[in-house]
């Protein structure tokens, strides 16, 4: 098939836009990486842009040599995995029944669920609720309150709506239960939405620190982001308190960049593993209506 000239021009424009977006996303990461690996004297003179100058690994040595960073890192990895699994399970169990038209009270349930997207009790009532439930300083406070997102539930429910009803009806004729239909039909055909929501939940938990800041005083259960947040605040306070700046200003800049890289790169490595699920069709191989 011969493509028209206008179509080729449109493709070139699209490619150029994609390249520009990639460059805009990569430049800040390259600058952070260069700063984290550069010597103090070059950072003080602000001569570091996209390539390290005066290679120096002191910042990474400080970060990786302290056991509190390593402990917080592995605890955050475990917490992210648990939260993602629990959140996907709760989201599925909430979205799946709402696709059945004969579910009694479905409209009322949808309204109540949607209301929670627009109205929130606030920080103080949430704190009092966690206290009354005995969740303060409990690792469960980082899992249970945020175990389901209504927005993500609506995405999954809409995805379930797109699966042909004939698949479910044929399974019902064969005597399959609702759980069997879910695990044998909906879950296998919904890998793209599961991968997408898993990424949303994982990134949200990995980057989250506000709940730990409000409800957790036990430093053994501080997630990585809260630990790094406190460290960056301490560095900034020292720089402000001493009018001449940090005792080693170049090292402080390098340390900040290394901390950001240390907390950002692991979650970025997840994307390539989930990319293939975003481009697959939902009902590949399924029968047509």
User: Looking at residue 84, what is its pLDDT?
Assistant: 93
User: Looking at residue 285, what is its pLDDT?
Assistant: 37
User: Looking at residue 275, what is its pLDDT?
Assistant: 66
Which is nearest to 246 in space by CA: 49, 53, 256, 229?
Answer: 256
Whether residue 5 lies inside any domain: the answer is no
- Note whether 45 and 94 are same-domain residues: no
- Note whether 67 and 49 are same-domain residues: no
Which is nearest to 224 in space by CA: 10, 55, 35, 77?
Answer: 77
**Per-residue DSSP letters for 37-100?**
TS-HHHHHTT--SSS-SS---HHHHHHHT-HHHHHHHHHHHHHHHHHHHHHHHHHHHHHTGGG-
Residue 281 has pLDDT above 50, yes or no: no
Domain range for 34 is 24-56
Structural domains in the chain (count): 2
User: Looking at residue 287, what is its pLDDT?
Assistant: 40
Higher pLDDT, 281 or 106: 106
User: Looking at residue 78, what is its pLDDT?
Assistant: 93
Residue 270 has pLDDT above 70, yes or no: yes
Residue 282 has pLDDT above 70, yes or no: no
Q: Residue 219 belongs to a domain with what CATH number? A: 1.10.3720.10
The pTM of the full predicted model, rounded to 2 decimals, is 0.79
């Amino acid at each position: 098939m011969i493509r028209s000239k206008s179509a080729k021009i449109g493709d070139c424009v699209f490619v150029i836009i994609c390249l520009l977006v990639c460059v805009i996303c990569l430049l800040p990461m390259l600058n952070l990486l260069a700063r984290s690996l550069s010597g103090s004297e070059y950072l003080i003179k602000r001569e570091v842009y996209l390539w390290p100058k005066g290679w120096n690994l002191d910042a990474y040595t400080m970060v990786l040599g302290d056991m509190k960073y390593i402990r917080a890192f592995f605890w955050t990895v475990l917490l992210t995995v648990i939260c993602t699994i629990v959140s996907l399970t709760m989201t599925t169990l909430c979205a799946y029944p709402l696709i059945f038209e004969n579910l009694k009270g479905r409209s009322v349930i949808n309204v109540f669920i949607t209301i929670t997207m627009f109205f929130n009790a606030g920080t103080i009532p949430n704190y009092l609720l966690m206290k009354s439930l005995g969740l303060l300083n409990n690792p469960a406070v980082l899992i249970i309150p945020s175990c389901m997102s209504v927005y993500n539930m609506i995405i999954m429910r809409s995805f379930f709506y797109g699966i042909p009803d004939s698949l479910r009806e044929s399974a019902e004729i064969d005597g399959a239960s609702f759980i069997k239909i879910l695990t044998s039909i909906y879950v296998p055909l919904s890998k793209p939405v599961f991968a997408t929501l898993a990424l949303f939940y994982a990134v949200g938990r990995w980057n989250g620190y506000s709940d730990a800041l409000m409800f957790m005083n036990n430093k053994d259960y501080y997630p990585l982001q809260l630990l790094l947040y406190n460290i960056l605040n301490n560095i900034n306070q020292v720089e402000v308190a001493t009018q001449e700046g940090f005792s080693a200003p170049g090292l402080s800049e390098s340390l900040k960049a290394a901390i950001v890289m240390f907390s950002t790169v692991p979650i970025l490595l997840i994307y390539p593993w989930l990319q293939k699920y975003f481009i697959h069709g939902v009902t590949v191989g399924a029968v047509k209506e």
